[in-house]
Amino acid sequence: GAGVSQTPSNKVTEKGKYVELRCDPISGHTALYWYRQSLGQGPEFLIYFQGTGAADDSGLPNDRFFAVRPEGSVSTLKIQRTERGDSAVYLCASSAGAGSQETQYFGPGTRLLVL
Amino acid sequence: DAKTTQPTSMDCAEGRAANLPCNHSTISGNEYVYWYRQIHSQGPQYIIHGLKNNETNEMASLIITEDRKSSTLILPHATLRDTAVYYCIVRGGSSYKLIFGSGTRLLVRP
């Protein structure tokens, strides 16, 4: 079946602009996660959704970052007033549930470059 | 979740077994050991996970020591396409986050 998909695959924007990154999880997966990966480092957790609600957004770096999942499927990560330090790969993952036995499956990521 | 320690890099010859170690000496009883890998410019790929028994699937085998303080991921016949960063992650009973360390950069040589 189809895996996690993310669009766009690459995004170049200018400092101060607003961007939206989209994630389509595996069909039927109730849990969805966003991670951010800076060059040379492992992914870092940003936010976790169970259904439509954000169950944990403790990893969001500041209030310029916001994510939604209005119908419990597709999610959008929104970044306002982008800064050069926001440049990274933004990864989305989904799982059938959220327990420690539930495997998270990742998408290919969106590479964001803020000039 | 318990912290993990992995070698920074390893290499092996194509066709040979690749044995990737991971130390997780502070692991507690309800924590699973997960392995993911990340091939250049791709998202992390799930490989295998286990609690205390050894596990095997079509990609790899996971050997967990009896005291659960360490584990080894075995790729039985490494190919060039197995060149990647391999992450060992310990994940607790109610934990939904994956906490990635720096991983092991595996280079498979022709």
What local confidence, expressed as pLDDT, does residue A92 receive? 98
Check residue A101 and give its pLDDT.
78
Query: What pLDDT band is residue B95 in, cutting at 50, 70 and 90?
Result: confident
Residue B80, SS3? Answer: helix
Which of B22, B97, B99 has the most A C-beta neighbours within 10 Å, making it the best mutation to test the interface with A?
B97
CA distance A72 to chain B (A): 17
Q: What is the mean pLDDT of residues B1-24?
A: 93
B49 vs A103, A107, A109: nearest CB: A103
Predicted local confidence at residue B96, as pLDDT = 80
How close does chain B come to A28, measured CA to CA in Å? 17
Average pLDDT over residues B82-95: 88
Question: Chain B contact for A105, CB < 8 A?
Answer: yes
Cα B87 to Cα B85: distance, rounded to the nearest angstrom: 7
**Cα–Cα distance list, A77 to A60, A115, B57 (Å):** 10, 19, 34
List, for residues A79-102, the tens digit of each pLDDT value. Answer: 999 999 999 999 999 999 877 678
Asked if A103 lies within 8 A of B94 by C-beta distance, the reply is no
Are B100 and B3 spatial neighbours (Cβ–Cβ below 8 Å)?
no
**Which regions in chain A score pLDDT beneath 50?**
none
Is A57 exposed, middle or buried, given 0-12, 13-18 or 19+ CB atoms closer than 10 A? middle
Q: Does A62 lie at the interface with B, CB-CB under 8 angstroms?
A: no
SS3 (DSSP) at B22: strand
Q: According to the model, what pLDDT value does residue A21 have? A: 98
Owner of token pair 């692991």: B27
- Site of tokens 């060992």: B88
Please list, in sequence order, all residues whose beta carbon lies within 8 angstroms of the beta carbon of residue B64, skipping any fewer than 6 positions away: B33, B50, B51, B52, B53, B54, B70, B71
What pLDDT is recorded for position A1? 58
Distance CA A111, CA B77 (A): 32
What's the mean pLDDT in B22-49? 93
Mutate to test the interface with B, among A104, A110, A111 (most CBs of B within 10 A): A104
Q: Please answer yes or no on whether A44 and B100 come within 8 Å at the CB atom.
A: yes
Q: Rounded CA gap, B15 and B28, in Å?
A: 35
Q: What is the pLDDT of residue B97?
A: 86
B10-41 burial by CB neighbour count: b if 16+ within 10 A, else e? bebeeeeebebebbbeebeeebbbbbbbbeee
Residue B3 pLDDT grade (very low, low, confident, very high; cuts 50, 70, 90): confident
Q: How far apart are the C-alpha atoms of B98 and B44, rounded to whole Å? A: 11
Angle at A33 between CA A27 and CA A37, to 5 degrees: 125
What pLDDT score does A94 carry? 96
Average pLDDT over residues B32-50: 94
- Per-residue confidence (pLDDT) for residue B93, from 0 to 100: 65
- Give residue-wise pLDDT tens across range B62-81: 999 999 999 999 999 999 99
Residue B33, min C-alpha distance to chain A (Å):
10
pLDDT class for B1, splitting at 50, 70, 90?
low
Question: Residue A18: which of A64, A61, A60, A67 has the closest Cα?
Answer: A64
At B28, the pLDDT band (50, 70, 90 cuts) reads confident
User: Tokens 């990966």, residue?
Assistant: A37
Model confidence band, residue B2 (pLDDT cutoffs 50, 70, 90): low
